[in-house]
Amino acid sequence: MKENIIPVCPIPELTIGLDLSDRTFQFCELNAAGEIVNEGHAKLDRHTLRKYLSAQPAGARVALETGCQSAWVRDLVEQLGHESVVANARELEAVTGRSHRTDHHDARQCPATLCRVL
Q: Each residue of 76-87: pLDDT tens digit?
A: 999 999 999 998
The structural domain count of the chain equals 1
**59: enclosing H helix or E strand:** none
Instruction: Confirm whether 29 is domain-assigned.
Output: yes
Encoded amino acid at 46, one letter = R
Instruction: Confirm whether 27 is domain-assigned.
Output: yes
Instruction: Confirm whether 54 is domain-assigned.
Output: yes
Instruction: Confirm whether 20 is domain-assigned.
Output: yes
Instruction: Confirm whether 86 is domain-assigned.
Output: yes
- pTM for the complete prediction? 0.76
- Specify the pLDDT at position 118: 47
- As a whole-number percent, the residues of the chain with pLDDT over 90 amount to 54
What is the tens place of the pLDDT at every residue in 46-63? 999 999 999 999 999 999
Instruction: Confirm whether 1 is domain-assigned.
Output: no
Instruction: Confirm whether 2 is domain-assigned.
Output: no
DSSP of 51-82: HHHHTSPTT-EEEEE-STTHHHHHHHHHHTT-
Encoded amino acid at 30, one letter = L
Which domain CATH number covers 99? 3.30.420.40
Instruction: Confirm whether 6 is domain-assigned.
Output: no
What are the φ/ψ torsions at residue 2 (nearest 5 degrees)?
A: -65, 145
User: What domain range includes position 34?
Assistant: 14-117
